[in-house]
Amino acid sequence: MLKMPTFSVVVPARNEERFIGGCLESIRVAALQLQRNVEVIVVINRCSDRTEEIARGFGARIVSEDAKNLSTIRNAGERAAVGRILVTIDADSQMSENTLLAIDRALASGKTVGGGTRIYPDRYSPGIRATLVAMNILLFVTQISGGLFWCHREDFEAIGGFNENLVSGEDVDFARRLKAHGRKTGRTFSTLRDAHIVTSCRKFDRFGDWLVMKRPLMVWRILRGRSQSTADAFYYEIER
């Protein structure tokens, strides 16, 4: 009899053949350290490259969702998941080998509702370092984090998952609502301190390393999540 997975890790992916292998390999290594049954779901979004082929090679379950909306894409994977702990990570990121173990320990304490983790870029420059400083200030003020989200299924469902009325900025919105839900239930929103992800700098490669400082209006529109044209230019219609 097959054991039901404890963890379900959801990976949204659109034409990610450059990155998906590294992401899935990092999940495989983290699952070995956890020594639990881990389900991996790759949500294929209008892919025209080898993303699905590579994902199947890693044994991932495949879900298809063509919407130009990351909330819808993420929720499609979460709905298909069967694990009691849900994790979502982007295809151009890699988790540290202790990430799933750190999540398991944090949730087992009963003190946290879930949360995010530390984020490292795959390269550094003055512009990227300045962006990290700005992000860290924002995270300190709001006491939320992202990069990779994790929580129990019942808490994900209690807040309605990712907000599909937003076409971008869904991560910040999700973190805020999860934190508020945790406060109501006597638990904190947590940032993993002994685990992290490394994420690609392809947005900086495309828009410039001083993106946040030179294009504040674009950043504001992305965070607000209401501009489909801005979201298309930043996420959904770019060539990988």
Neighbour-count burial for 123-134, b at 16+ CB within 10 Å, e otherwise? eeeebbeebeee
Is residue 42 within 8 Å of residue 53, measured between CB atoms? no
Would the pLDDT of 96 be above 50? yes
Residue 138, pLDDT > 90, answer no
Q: CB of 42 within 8 A of CB of 11?
A: yes
Q: What is the spatial order of strands in the sheet that 38-44 belongs to?
A: 61-64, 38-44, 7-13, 85-89, 146-152, 112-121, 188-199, 93-95
In the numeric block, the tokens 């929580």 are attached to 151
Tokens 């819808």, residue located: 72
Tens-place pLDDT, residues 24-64 = 999 999 999 998 899 999 999 999 999 999 999 999 999 99
What residue type is assigned to position 154 of the chain?
E
Q: What are the two backbone dihedrals, phi and then psi, of residue 22, each rounded to the nearest 5 degrees?
A: -65, -40
In the chain, the domains with their CATH numbers are 7-236 (3.90.550.10)
239 confidence band (pLDDT: 50, 70, 90)? low
Task: Give residue-wise pLDDT tens across range 170-202.
Answer: 999 999 999 999 999 999 999 999 999 999 999
| Predicted pLDDT of residue 134 | 87
| Look-up of token digits 């390999």 | 25
Whether the pLDDT of residue 120 is over 90: the answer is yes
- Say what the alpha-carbon torsion angle 219, 222, 228, 230 is, to the nearest 10 degrees: 20
Q: What is the pLDDT of residue 220?
A: 92
**Sign, Cα dihedral of 28, 29, 32, 34:** negative
The whole model's pTM is what? 0.94
Show Cβ contacts of residue 62 under 8 Å, excluding neighbours closer than 6 positions.
41, 42, 44, 52, 55, 56
State yes or no: pLDDT of 2 exceeds 70. Answer: no
